[in-house]
Amino acid sequence: MSQFNSATTERAMQALDAFQIEIPSWGFANTGTRFGKFVQPAAASTLEEKFSDAAEVLRLTGATPTMALHVLWDLPNGKKDAAKVKELEEKHGVRSGSINPNLFQDQEYKYGSLCNPSAEIRALALAHMFDSVEIATQLGSRDISLWLPDGSNYPGTQSMRKRIEWLAEALQATHSKLKPGQRLLVEYKPFEPAFYHTDIADWGMSAHLAREAGPQAFVLVDTGHHYQGQNIEQIVAWLLHIGLLGGFHFNDRRYADDDLTIGSIDPYQVFRIFHELHAAKADKLPHDVAYMIDQSHNLKGKIEAAVQTVSTAQELWLKAALVDREELGRLQEKCDLVAAEELFRGTFWTDVRPLVVEWRVARGLPADPLKALRKDGYVTRIERERGGRHSVVNSYA
């Protein structure tokens, strides 16, 4: 007998039906840190293998219909690879998701890409941005999701203001190439790989650049891209309020951009972020947010980590969905602090896993996707098929 009444159960079913989250192609490949990587026999080395792995995660979780693609890593020949990708989408039943330009690994970008003092290098980077829009068009992807690694390592070595001008110009030019319905998501990150200044270092810079680029540009919040102690849910509330929240890259961190599994360090923070989204929906605040994972599964089994990630995201999304926002609003009005907090954190502590299981069974999904993964032999099969190769595809550090 469920501990939840029928109204709560119905709310839960609707909340989980409405929640889809995009998984990254790079989550299936060998990845590591700048200190090296531990290759895994089951790791994907080709785009076909990544689509196959994504299909397995979708089969088990029912919540991941799209996979984020990284230009250069997944489409080494750029837009010429788009036809092949369409075939893989058909074959595996997973659609291409956001298109991630890659402006951080070519040697030309040593001193920056879109912010490089050389107009020639900036033009090269801009051409890559245009290609990425073209790829998104050919694949029917809505989002071009830009993380810009540009910055500098020492004070005085670059003009930060000149770089702002070059960057604003490039994003406006990119925006002019967007088709109706397409979006440019501008991600921010305080540091790494640059260690003195990063050209798009915080949400204010992203928001300004997005606004200047045009109405189809928005901010992408990567939860790992904040200084210790920053109040991310407040940033989310602001971006919702000003209509610039485009999407998330979810992961967790203890120290920096650690790309750990969502909710593995601070699940309450994810709950607080999701609460802002559910509250915006309840308040009928217009927003259109892409929920995406951006993690590196350096040590965990790649597919196991992906399934665990999606399950955790679903549980935290559901917990936040169950907050009694009307009662919370009344308590906030009255400044009944402890009652408001007890309602809020009490909902966080609610064990919603039985509701998630009920949803899965009702949708014809395995009640326990991790157990189903271990039982279905997929990982054993791909280990056998791929085990001999320790070729590392993504030099991702």
Q: Which two tokens stand for residue 320?
A: 């936040």
Minimum distance, C-beta of residue 363 to ligand AFD, in the bound complex (Å): 30
Place of tokens 């009694």: 324
Closer residue to ligand AFD in complex, CB, 49/294: 294
Minimum distance, C-beta of residue 191 to ligand AFD, in the bound complex (Å): 10
Closer residue to ligand AFD in complex, CB, 74/358: 74
The pattern of x and - marking residues 130 through 169 that bind ligand AFD according to CB under 6 A reads -----------------x----------------------
The residue among 164, 168, 152, 135 whose CA lies nearest residue 69 is 135
Binding site partner of 100, from ligand AFD, Mn ion, none, Cβ cut-off 5-8 A by kind: ligand AFD
Closer residue to ligand AFD in complex, CB, 12/292: 292
Question: 82 CB contacts (<8 Å, ≥6 apart)?
Answer: 75, 135, 138, 139
Q: Which two tokens stand for residue 207?
A: 């928001």
Minimum distance, C-beta of residue 249 to ligand AFD, in the bound complex (Å): 5
74 contributes a contact to ligand AFD by CB under 6 A = no
Closer residue to Mn ion in complex, CB, 51/248: 248
The pattern of x and - marking residues 209 through 248 that bind ligand AFD according to CB under 6 A reads -------------x--------------------------
Interatomic CA distance for residues 191 and 227, integer angstroms: 9
Among 92, 142, 189, 197, binds ligand AFD (CB under 6 A): 189
Subset of 195-224 contacting Mn ion (CB under 5 A): 222
- Between the alpha carbon of residue 164 and those of residues 107, 171, 377, the distances in Å are 22, 11, 51
Minimum distance, C-beta of residue 260 to ligand AFD, in the bound complex (Å): 12
Q: Which two tokens stand for residue 288?
A: 């259109």
Minimum distance, C-beta of residue 68 to ligand AFD, in the bound complex (Å): 8
Q: Nearest residue to ligand AFD, using CB?
A: 147
The pattern of x and - marking residues 235 through 264 that bind Mn ion according to CB under 5 A reads --------------x-------x-------
Q: Which two tokens stand for residue 210?
A: 């997005």
Among 249, 272, 275, 297, binds ligand AFD (CB under 6 A): 249
Among 74, 199, 294, 358, binds ligand AFD (CB under 6 A): 294
Cis bond upstream, residue 193 (ω within 30): yes
The residue among 18, 11, 13 whose CA lies nearest residue 63 is 18
Interatomic CA distance for residues 128 and 169, integer angstroms: 15
250: β partners = 293
Phi, psi dihedrals of residue 246, rounded to the nearest 5°: -100, -35
Closer residue to ligand AFD in complex, CB, 48/192: 192
Specify the 3-state DSSP secondary structure of 390.
coil
Binding site partner of 79, from Mn ion, ligand AFD, none, Cβ cut-off 5-8 A by kind: none
DSSP-assigned letters across all residues of 33-88? BTTB----TT-B-SHHHHHHHHHHHHHHHS---EEEEEBTTTBTTGGGGHHHHHHH
Minimum distance, C-beta of residue 208 to ligand AFD, in the bound complex (Å): 19
Closer residue to ligand AFD in complex, CB, 296/312: 296
Subset of 288-317 contacting Mn ion (CB under 5 A): 294
- Contact (Cβ atoms closer than 8 angstroms) between residue 19 and residue 314: yes
Phi, psi dihedrals of residue 64, rounded to the nearest 5°: -130, 70
- Contact (Cβ atoms closer than 8 angstroms) between residue 263 and residue 223: no
Closer residue to ligand AFD in complex, CB, 257/315: 257
Minimum distance, C-beta of residue 225 to ligand AFD, in the bound complex (Å): 6
Interatomic CA distance for residues 283 and 74, integer angstroms: 39
- Run of H or E residues at 250: strand 245-250
Q: Are strands 23-24 and 66-70 parallel, antiparallel or unpaired?
A: parallel
Binding site for Mn ion (CB under 5 A): 222, 249, 257, 294
Residues that bind ligand AFD (CB under 6 A): 100, 147, 187, 189, 222, 249, 257, 259, 294
